[in-house]
Amino acid sequence: MATKSFSPALHPVRCLILTPTRELAIQVHDSVKTYGKHVPLRSFVVYGGVNINPQIEELKRGVEILVATPGRLLDLVGQKAVNLGKVQILVLDEADRMLDMGFIPDIKRIIALLPKQRQTLLFSATFSDEIRKLAKQFQNDPATIEVARRNEPIALVTQYVHMVEAARKRELLSHLVRKNNWEQVLVFCKTKHGSNRLASQLQKDRINADAIHGNKSQSARIRALEDFKAGKVKVLVATDIAARGLDIEELPHVVNFDLPHVPEDYVHRIGRTGRAGSTGEALSLVCAEDRPLLSAIERLINKKIEVRTADGFDRGSDRGERSAPAPQQERPQQHRGAKQHEPRQHAPKQHEPRQHAPKQHEPKHEHRGPRQPKREPLPDFFSKPYEPSPSAQAPAASHEGPGRRRPATPVPALFRKKAA
């Protein structure tokens, strides 16, 4: 039962909700306030990147539902600003990310501060087999509730890919945004530096863009997100920090500029669109190096993703992916008479201006025509006239009529008629 007393001792933390990102913590707390506005329970959210003192002051007044990121919560525990000894419910939101190798030490420290008799809930859109095994360490005989097939993306999201050269991804993205008049696009990159670079390049293309990632201050992250929601920013470039915590009403387009290395992250990324019954599009830009990642994603979702074309981009990508004949393979066609043992470095000389040819006084240019291949002189044996063998004998007298003349050249011994 909730109490209306203002004594902090009568308002202990009874429900603890842990989230992997600051944005998700803010979003979850907003939902708690919305759903619990008619319930006399105090709620609060704590996360890093901001001054800790106002959070300490608020916790001293008593909080029954606390939403937190693990790092800031442990800081507050270290300063004895919060007591977790009365927690009845522990919730791990985006549990697959909370239980990965980066968060496990913090999660174990927090669980050690909680009562053993409690309810533990894990929520996530994806669960790998490894995470399921790991979750058993924190739960006793857990029940599984699934509202959709495992690792299945939202059915209202249209998924497709564009095959494009890696160097032309940014050019294609700008082309699609301008051609289709996209007004709100969330773009995912794999690195923080790559997010900053892409946002800067889009700005040079006269597309209003901003970036959001872990290296930015919390105030800059909040400002970029609010500008994106308000339509001041057309393209928001983010790392996977935004895949777990961005709830943008009726977000129409999600673009995977870089495919994620973890296939489950693809499901979370495209889950930013098609929410609350709305439809959306999820586009992935795939180069030759991304094909193994695409195959892993298709195996996870058990579905082949549609491939679409864009004029001037996909056909160029096809040419790039089909290995064109190397220059050295074309040279024999231009020099069919040349010997195979000639060095390859002579072939590119065909591109030299013709006016330089007379300056070279090598014997190979004695042949007529600048494109005549080099020919070695034939042995003298082939240029001399035929001479009969010394063993050849004179032919027998002719038995033909007197009007026929015998050739002056004696017949070789090989062709001499045998004597009768």
pLDDT at 159: 94
Angle at 37 between CA 34 and CA 40, to 5 degrees: 140
Whether 335 is in a domain gets the answer no
| In a shared domain, residues 221 and 126 | no
Do residues 69 and 44 make contact, with C-beta atoms less than 8 angstroms apart?
Answer: no
At residue 400, the 3 state secondary structure works out as: coil
Whether 281 is in a domain gets the answer yes
How many whole angstroms separate alpha carbon 95 and alpha carbon 24?
12
Whether 76 is in a domain gets the answer yes
pTM for this structure?
Answer: 0.61
Tally Cβ neighbours within 10 Å of residue 416: 14
How many whole angstroms separate alpha carbon 201 and alpha carbon 155?
33
Tally Cβ neighbours within 10 Å of residue 204: 10
> Token pair for residue 256?
């995977």
pLDDT at 389: 55
CATH of the domain at 236: 3.40.50.300
What is the mean pLDDT for each group of 10 consecutive residues in the chain (420 residues)? Answer: 52 92 90 92 93 94 94 94 94 83 86 94 81 79 76 79 94 94 93 93 94 85 88 91 71 94 88 78 94 94 90 55 41 44 47 48 49 58 58 49 55 57
> Token pair for residue 134?
């790991």
**Range of the structural domain that residue 297 is part of:** 157-321
Whether 391 is in a domain gets the answer no
pLDDT at 184: 93
Q: Give the list of residues 6+ apart from residue 177 with CB closer than 8 angstroms, or none.
A: 185, 202, 207, 234, 235
| In a shared domain, residues 96 and 168 | no
pLDDT at 391: 52
Residue where one domain finishes, among candidates 304, 321, 338: 321
Residue where one domain finishes, among candidates 272, 304, 321: 321
What is residue 385's DSSP assignment? P
Whether 71 is in a domain gets the answer yes
How many whole angstroms separate alpha carbon 114 and alpha carbon 12?
13
Domain tally for the chain?
2
| In a shared domain, residues 193 and 313 | yes
| In a shared domain, residues 12 and 82 | yes
Q: Rounded to 10 degrees, what is the CA torsion of 13, 18, 23, 27?
A: -60
| In a shared domain, residues 174 and 206 | yes
Do residues 237 and 199 make contact, with C-beta atoms less than 8 angstroms apart?
Answer: yes
Q: What is the DSSP annotation of 336-381?
A: TTS-TTS-GGGGGGGGS-GGGGGG---GGGGSSSTTPPP-PPPPGG
Q: Where are the beta strands (DSSP E) in 127-240?
A: 157-163, 185-188, 209-212, 235-238
Whether 23 is in a domain gets the answer yes
Q: How far is CA 32 from the centre of its chain?
A: 35
Q: What are phi and psi of 212, to 5 degrees?
A: -140, 125
Q: Give the list of residues 6+ apart from residue 59 with CB closer than 8 angstroms, or none.
A: 44, 46, 66, 76, 81, 82
| In a shared domain, residues 114 and 168 | no
Whether 234 is in a domain gets the answer yes
β-sheet with 65-68: strand ranges across? 43-46, 65-68, 15-18, 89-93, 119-123
How many whole angstroms separate alpha carbon 151 and alpha carbon 127?
7
| In a shared domain, residues 277 and 217 | yes
Contacts 24+ apart (CB under 8 A), 222-229: 225/23, 228/184, 228/186
Whether 393 is in a domain gets the answer no
Residue where one domain finishes, among candidates 321, 349, 373: 321
pLDDT in tens, 90-147: 999 988 878 776 788 999 999 999 999 999 999 887 777 777 777 787 788 888 887 7
